[in-house]
Amino acid sequence: MDHSVEQILNKPVFEREDLIVLLNADKKERELIFRKAAEVKKEFVGNKVYFRGLVELSNICSKNCYYCGIRSGNKVVDRYFVSDDEVLEAARYAMDNGYGSMVIQSGERTDKVFVKKVTNMLEKIKALSDGKLGITLSMGEQTEETYRQWYASGAHRYLLRIESSNPDLYYKIHPNDARHSFDYRLNALRLLRKVGYNVGTGVMIGLPFQTIDDLAGDLLFFRDMDIDMAGMGPYIEHKDTPLYQYRNILMPKADRFYLSLKMVAILRIMMKDINIAATTAMQTLDKQGREKALKVGANIIMPNLTPVKYREGYLLYEDKPCINEEASECKNCLEARIHIAGDEIGYGEWGDSKHFAARKQSNN
Ligand code: 5AD
Ligand code: SF4
Ligand code: FES
């Protein structure tokens, strides 16, 4: 069996053992992975990066994930809900500035009031933009009926991270109760696909108790699930969360960053035509984190459009960037970063995953 990084990179399909070798690649070897990922990106998705204007709609959450700063058990957070008018203002900004799409993310709620509120909001955004603005939702696990309702109201992509594809690890980072069921989450991903969304998922990298074998399993999970989009980033500790007590067993930040970068690069090589986000968390651990992610395969960036007055309220982790920057500042900043990475911006386009189009054509 071949064990060298170079030999593995020439294989058409990676097995679990191959992924473990790649994820363990040292400083010199990882450059080979990054180079290959850059080539794959260039060939299969090109050098266009798509903007998704991000609105963090609300930090009210019914869940209590052990890693997250806005979990329901954290009583020191002031809870907010962005008004419809403010969301529409962000939508208008996105349109006026040629962002093809928005991402609307929120703490998880399944009550009727919330579901209806989101439905109405989607309809308003669609009306405002004459159906032109693409909408991605990231609102956790919902019933099939809710997913259908939101799809019918104009959302066509959905992000739901699996966080970890290993159920044992999943239950170390979430409470083990009916509200945090691994199986329910897995089923939610299947429902999203059934309803017709472009489906995205992802994991955190460098979690306490996570092994390289877990991460290899995550990559295999993405391939098996045939996902259209991925969003991955390093786990970053937050002092008001239960996982904070394990901060001393975490990988050093630089290692966590490079492991995250390897995950992006390897996934690009494995799933050549999906959309991969250069996530904000990457930038928390490295000032040039997002550019570096773009260079090794990412092709999506989410400039923050949440009204600045709410941003402090959406700190899922510490040292989150762009807390005080207005939409226009993030836009200029990201434009510069994308150019530094040698890419260009796909203004005014939805930039849907090519993988989604291909699987629609083959009809499954
Ligand atoms: N560090 C990094 N990512 C986090 N998320 C939540 N908490 C943290 C953290 N402490 C991520 C989760 C979730 C997404 C919205 O934010 O992966 O799915
Ligand atoms: Fe809520 Fe999402 Fe944070 Fe979990 S990760 S507590 S579901 S906002
Ligand atoms: Fe917000 Fe750089 S992206 S300031």
| CA 62 from centre of chain | 20
The verdict on the CB of residue 55 being under 6 Å from ligand 3 is: no
Q: Which atom of ligand 2 is nearest to the CA of 59?
A: 8
Which CATH architecture is the domain 5-363 placed in?
Answer: Alpha-Beta Barrel (3.20)
pLDDT band at 341 (very low <50, low <70, confident <90, very high): confident
- What radius of gyration do the chain's Cα atoms show? 19
Q: Which ligand ends up closest to the CA of 218?
A: 1
The amino acid sitting at 159 is: L
Per residue in 8-57, pLDDT (tens digit) is: 999 999 999 999 999 999 999 999 999 999 999 999 999 999 999 999 99
Q: Whose CA is nearest to atom 2 of ligand 2?
A: 107
One-letter identity of residue 11: K
Task: Report the nearest-CA residue for atom 3 of ligand 3.
Answer: 330
What is the atom index within ligand 3 of the atom nearest the CA of 321?
Answer: 1
Q: Is the pLDDT of residue 103 over 90?
A: yes
* More confidently predicted of 3 and 309: 309
Confidence of residue 364 (pLDDT cuts 50, 70, 90): low
The residue whose CA has the least distance to atom 3 of ligand 1 is 235
Locate the ligand 3 atom nearest the alpha carbon of residue 303 and give its number.
3
Question: Where do the domains of the chain lie?
Answer: 5-363
Q: What is the mean pLDDT of residues 336-345?
A: 91
Instruction: Answer whether residue 122 shows pLDDT above 70.
Output: yes
How far apart are alpha carbons 345 and 3 in whole angstroms?
38
What is the per-residue pLDDT for 362?
Answer: 84
pLDDT above 70: percentage of residues in the chain: 99
Return the SS3 of 61.
coil
Angle between helices 144-152 and 182-195 (to 10 degrees): 40
Dump pLDDT digits (tens) for 180-197. Answer: 999 999 999 999 999 999
What tokens does 75 get? 């009583």
Pocket of ligand 2 (CB under 6 A): 61, 63, 65, 68, 70-71, 107-108, 140, 316
Task: Confirm or reject: Cβ of 316 under 6 Å from ligand 1.
Answer: yes
As given in the structure block, the two tokens for residue 68 are 């997250």
How close is the Cα of 36 to the center of ligand 1, in Å?
Answer: 28
Nearest CA among 142, 59, 127, 129 for reference residue 97 = 129
Q: What is the pLDDT of residue 262?
A: 98
- Distance CA(185)–CA(92), nearest Å, equals 33
* Mean pLDDT of the region 193-218: 98
* pLDDT tens-digit series, residues 128-165: 999 999 999 999 999 999 999 999 999 999 999 999 99
**Measured in Å, how far apart are the chain's first and last C-alpha atoms?**
34
Pocket test for ligand 1, best of 137, 138, 317 (most atoms within 8 A of CB): 317
- Please provide residue 198's backbone torsions phi and psi, each rounded to the nearest 5 degrees: -70, 125
Per-residue model confidence (pLDDT) at position 9:
97
Assess whether pLDDT exceeds 70 at residue 1: no
Q: Whose CA is closest to 135, among 152, 157, 118, 120?
A: 157
**What are the tens digits of pLDDT across the range 228-270?**
999 999 999 999 999 999 999 999 999 999 999 999 999 999 9
pLDDT band at residue 69 using 50, 70 and 90 as cut-offs: very high
> How far, in Å, is the centroid of ligand 3 from the Cα of 68?
22
Shortest-distance ligand to the CA of residue 289:
3
d(CA 275, CA 298): 7
User: Quick one: pLDDT at residue 360?
Assistant: 87
- Report which ligand 3 atom has the smallest distance to the Cα of 330: 1
What is the CA(38)–ligand 1 centre distance, in A? Answer: 26
Q: How far apart are CA 294 and CA 198, in angstroms?
A: 21
Do the Cβ atoms of 29 and 274 come closer than 8 Å?
A: no
Confidence of residue 121 (pLDDT cuts 50, 70, 90): very high
Question: What does the alpha-carbon distance between residue 204 and residue 185 come to, in Å, rounded to a whole number?
Answer: 16
- Scored b (16 or more CB within 10 A) or e, 289-311 reads bbbbbbbbbbbbbbbbbbbeebb
Q: Which of 57, 64, 65, 179 to mutate to test the pocket of ligand 2 (most atoms within 8 A of CB)?
A: 65
* Percentage of the chain exceeding pLDDT 90: 95
Predicted pLDDT at 307: 95
To the nearest whole number, what is the mean pLDDT of the chain?
A: 96
